[in-house]
Chain A
Amino acid sequence: MVWQPEIDELSERKSLAYQLGGEERVQKHIENGKLTVRDRIVSLVDSDSFRERGVLAGKATYEDGKLSEFRPSNYVMGIASINGRRVMVGGDDFTVRGGAADGNVGDKKTHQERMALELRIPIIRLVDGTGGGGSVKTIEDIGRTYLPGGPGFWETADEAMAKVPVVAAAMGSVAGIGAARVAISHFSVIVKGTGQVFTAGPPVVERGLGMWVEKEELGGAEIHARGSGVCDNEAETEEDAFEQIKQFLSYLPANSWELPPRSTPNDDPERRDEELLSIIPRERRQPYDVRKLASHIVDRDSIFEIGKYFGRSVVTLLARLDGYPVAVLGNDPLAVGGSLDTPGSEKMLKFIDLADTFNIPIINLVDQPGFMIGVEAEKAGVIKAGVRALQAIYQCDVPWSTIVVRRAYGVAGAGHQNHSNARWNYRVAWPSGDWGSLPIEGGVMAAYRRDIEASENPEQRRQEIEDKLNELRSPFRTAEAFNIEDIIDPRETRPLLSEWINDAYKVLASSQLGPKGRGMRA
């Protein structure tokens, strides 16, 4: 019992840290519908798995050499497990200095990121804090101003994007560096009603722009999960956010050196769903449910959708096939006609980069009418965003397979996989396959204008030409020329892809994995 007094002091100091910002502030925080930071962590991770680091950090006041007051650091972090796998988890304590960075003693945030990088485990950030260098109050405390930035967060955050999965949740009003910590991630989720993300909050907006806007209208879930795409997903509650984080991580390896984890297969790889034979309408202008289509191909109940409400013409799903994680891309004919627009391109780029960074094979379910057209699409820079998405495809080197379920038109249609001679990708089509540089209906007038205009009955002539060309439209003619590997019975899609995914993981297992030349950008 030589060191018993110190052990007692250790307990005493820990209990001071557990009091967070004090009873009153904690009560107010809970009344606002939010969990305290340690309760958040405990709810998220496996029971009894959280091993906190840096609990003793804080700002102490001494009287006669004795500790009289203690304000804990407002960043709580440590190592824990999620479904038995190690993660680094940390969160802001809003009850101390509103979670502002000036209450973060000794930069625990960067310490957490560095630790995760060394241990090669995922980083989870539960963000509920404001302002970069803290508030303007810091100036008074340190007696000077300072240049923003400096060593610390940015280089570790950037390195993490290349090496370990980074997940962020916006769980309060998150501004400045807090907003950046949400955005620079592989997956982010915002809690509806209590989470807001902005570069600066309403008072700063009022001062700088002369307008007052409520925080929810400035940066709530509606803005960022449905408009800007800053956050991938929205959560109904904090618990829902934790469930989504757990589910996202379940498809990912711990780092970019490892293979994604295979689950025990729960479904027959040979399953042939009859529904697939009728899911694509014969009438080309009729849409269908691409999520349903995907669900008939991948393992039962294995889909986790990312970015459902942003860039809606592109659907991005993490799923499993014969237990193996796969990244499924699709086009949604119910949104923007399925065409590739600027938000859709941004979403596609991020998803491909995610799969490429963490060695997840990609399945592309193609029904691409082409880039979005029109004035608004041009103003939004569709071709620039589109070529960036195509670059992502050509830079990506994970196994890739393409199923052309219907249309593949134009430059966007060409971007359904890497076509370089240096690569083979598994590519087949369904009998509903329909492709070309320009759809016949729109292209006839451009290509046969003279012929049509010279005719006595131009409309009849146009129809004749269209009918003649439509006879050549059958995908079987393309297969005759071996321009596509095969046309398959849609019901065969799952058995064929199950076989492919087993091969793909064998290829990955014998490949040199690890970070790519430069990490993905958020």
Chain B
Amino acid sequence: MTDVKAEWPGVVSEIKISVGDSVSQDDELVILESMKMLTPILSPASGTVSELPIEQGQYVDEGAVLVRLDS
């Protein structure tokens, strides 16, 4: 299990995956908008998306879990 967390606060601009998707390391999972910059959040490992505790347009704090991976 790998938690992909927001390293800085921002708004979830786009979610590029769905629960059950297989992802490879460095795939774009989420686009987080912070400081007027659209930052891709990359997958730290290969695995399957098991949870997506976020919604598009939602504000997330630093440290919030964005994606949970079974890896």
Contact = CB atoms under 8 A, between A and B. Distances in A.
A285 B33 contact: yes
A337 B39 CA distance: 7
Nearest to A376: B62
A369 B37 contact: yes
Contacts of B35: 336-339, 369-370, 372-373
A376 B37 contact: no
Most chain A CB within 10 A, of B9, B35, B36, B38, is at: B35
Interface in A327-380: 333-339, 341, 369-370, 372-374, 376
A337 B9 contact: no
A284 B8 contact: no
Interface residues of A, number: 21
B39 A334 contact: yes
A287 B39 contact: yes
Nearest to B37: A337
Contact of B38 (A287, A335, A372): A287
B18 interface: no
Interface residues of B, number: 14
Nearest to A341: B8
B36 A336 contact: no
A229 to B, nearest CB: 15
A285 B40 CA distance: 12
Nearest to A337: B35
B34 interface: yes
Interface string A364-403: 0000011011101000000000000000000000000000
Nearest to B8: A336
Nearest to B32: A337
A176 interface: no
A336 to B, nearest CB: 5
Contacts of B61: 376
A376 B33 contact: no
Contacts of A339: 34-35
7 contacts: A284-B36, A335-B7, A335-B8, A336-B8, A337-B36, A374-B9, A376-B61
Given A287-B40, A442-B36, 7 more contacts: A285-B36, A287-B38, A335-B39, A336-B35, A337-B10, A373-B35, A441-B36
Interface of A: 284-287, 333-339, 341, 369-370, 372-374, 376, 439, 441-442
> Top 5 nearest A-B pairs by Cβ distance?
A337-B35, A337-B37, A337-B34, A339-B35, A336-B8
